[in-house]
């Protein structure tokens, strides 16, 4: 892969699916449906039901003790290194930045890109009337994008919940990165997106508790930068780019490169536009960020 910088992740022949973490998203969404008090009450109720079983009352505490003991031992194993730390398994122990490679995998200049956050908030979450339908449409859209990433020039999408506004029932958001605004509109006019949009418009009055949103940003080339330190790749760092390798084969490449040296300062990372000579200036104004 021709490059002026040091890539930290290898290119792959296939697009790495963004749907593999959908199960984690669904798990967290279900947990966020009710408050902590409600979940504790549900657990206490189930515990009380055990008292009606033909067993010694002292045995009713066994499930809680076993689960709690396992969690403590499991985390101790991760702390001392007996078991792999699941919280750090995806983290890149490095200072890195995510650039936009050209069609051959090099990093000569910046590229403009489209970013489209989309979200929703639903009272009662998956238990709300109409939620299953709108969730299924959203799932079909994500499957379409994931399966046709090259056609739609999809770079990545990430799932998030707004945990700072509500104690439960958080707003859900998916952030999509596209190569250009043209492909955002192409997907918006696709059959799978129109189906979901038409369904929502048809049922707005029937399900007034269902809310959706989107924001759309077109970022000019050379007007963006990022930095990550000992961080699992998230947001634009998860982007995958279709390139032609030296042997002529088509591959998907990560834009993650070592951010030490020439790329250590924010001003330098912003100076990747063609014609600017900021690359290589280790003493860029503002220092290392």
pLDDT band at 286 (very low <50, low <70, confident <90, very high): very low
What confidence tens digit (pLDDT) does each residue in 41-82 have?
A: 998 898 888 888 888 878 888 888 898 899 899 888 888 888
Residue with tokens 């859209």: 141
| Strand, coil or helix: 195 | helix
Task: Name the β-bridge partners of 211.
Answer: 121
Those residues with Cβ within 8 angstroms of residue 45's Cβ, 6 or more apart along the chain or in another chain: none
Cα-based distances in Å from 74 to 83, 90, 217: 8, 19, 43
pLDDT average, residue stretch 183-192: 94
pLDDT band at 123 (very low <50, low <70, confident <90, very high): low
Which pLDDT score, from 0 to 100, does residue 185 have?
93
Q: Is residue 278 scored above 70 in pLDDT?
A: no
Which pLDDT score, from 0 to 100, does residue 229 have?
92
Task: Name the β-bridge partners of 174.
Answer: 118, 159
Which pLDDT score, from 0 to 100, does residue 52 have?
87
Which pLDDT score, from 0 to 100, does residue 124 have?
57
Which pLDDT score, from 0 to 100, does residue 165 have?
67
Least confident of 15-19, 103-107, 271-275: 271-275
Query: Which tokens go with 48?
Result: 């009380």
Those residues with Cβ within 8 angstroms of residue 271's Cβ, 6 or more apart along the chain or in another chain: 222, 277, 278, 279, 281, 284
Q: At what angle are helices 191-202 and 131-147 packed, to 10 degrees? A: 170
Least confident of 145-149, 230-234, 280-284: 280-284
Q: Is residue 135 scored above 60 in pLDDT?
A: yes
CA angle at 112 for the pair 111 and 118, rounded to the nearest 5°? 130
CB of 153 closer than 8 Å to CB of 212: no
Residues in the chain: 289
d(CA 159, CA 119): 9
Which pLDDT score, from 0 to 100, does residue 287 have?
47
Which pLDDT score, from 0 to 100, does residue 85 have?
79
Those residues with Cβ within 8 angstroms of residue 37's Cβ, 6 or more apart along the chain or in another chain: none
Q: Which residue has the higher pLDDT, 33 or 131?
A: 131
Which pLDDT score, from 0 to 100, does residue 1 have?
39
What confidence tens digit (pLDDT) does each residue in 73-96 have?
A: 988 888 888 888 777 777 777 778
CB of 197 closer than 8 Å to CB of 118: no
- Please name the residue ranges forming H helices in the chain: 22-32, 36-49, 62-80, 131-147, 149-152, 181-188, 191-202, 266-269
Q: Is residue 107 scored above 90 in pLDDT?
A: no
Above pLDDT 90, what percent of the chain?
20
**Mean pLDDT of the residues in the chain:** 79
Q: Is residue 143 scored above 80 in pLDDT?
A: yes
Say which DSSP state 17 is in.
P
d(CA 269, CA 152): 27
Task: Name the β-bridge partners of 257.
Answer: 7, 97
- For every residue of 59-104, DSSP letters joined together read GGGHHHHHHHHHHHHHHHHHHHTSS--TTTTT-EEEEEEE----TT
Q: Is residue 279 scored above 50 in pLDDT?
A: no
Which pLDDT score, from 0 to 100, does residue 47 have?
86
pLDDT band at 16 (very low <50, low <70, confident <90, very high): confident
């Amino acid at each position: 892969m021709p490059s002026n910088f040091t890539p930290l992740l290898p290119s792959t022949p296939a697009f790495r699916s963004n749907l593999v973490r959908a199960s984690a998203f669904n798990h967290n969404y279900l947990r966020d449906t009710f408050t902590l008090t409600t979940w504790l009450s549900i657990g206490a109720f189930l515990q009380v039901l055990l008292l009606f079983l033909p067993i010694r009352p002292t045995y009713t505490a066994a499930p809680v003790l076993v689960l709690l003991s396992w969690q403590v031992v499991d985390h101790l194993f991760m702390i001392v290194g007996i078991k792999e730390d699941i919280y750090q398994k995806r983290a890149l122990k490095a200072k890195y930045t995510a650039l936009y490679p050209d069609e051959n995998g090099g990093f000569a200049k910046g590229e403009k890109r489209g970013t489209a956050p989309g979200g929703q908030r639903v009272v009662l979450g998956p238990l709300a009337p109409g939620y299953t339908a709108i969730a299924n449409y959203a799932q079909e859209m994500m499957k379409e994008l994931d399966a046709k990433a090259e056609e739609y020039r999809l770079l990545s999408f990430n799932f998030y919940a707004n945990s700072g506004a509500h104690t439960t029932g958080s707003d859900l958001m998916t952030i999509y990165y596209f190569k250009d605004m043209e492909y955002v509109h192409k997907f918006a006019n696709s059959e799978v997106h129109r189906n979901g949009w038409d369904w929502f418009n048809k049922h707005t009055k029937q399900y007034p508790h269902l809310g959706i949103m989107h924001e759309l940003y077109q970022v000019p080339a050379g007007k963006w930068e990022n930095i990550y330190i000992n961080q699992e790749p998230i947001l634009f760092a998860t982007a995958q780019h279709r390139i032609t390798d030296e042997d002529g084969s088509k591959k998907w490449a990560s834009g993650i490169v070592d951010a030490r040296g020439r790329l250590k300062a924010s001003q330098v990372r912003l100076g990747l536009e063609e014609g600017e000579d900021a690359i290589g200036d280790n003493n860029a104004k503002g220092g290392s960020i």
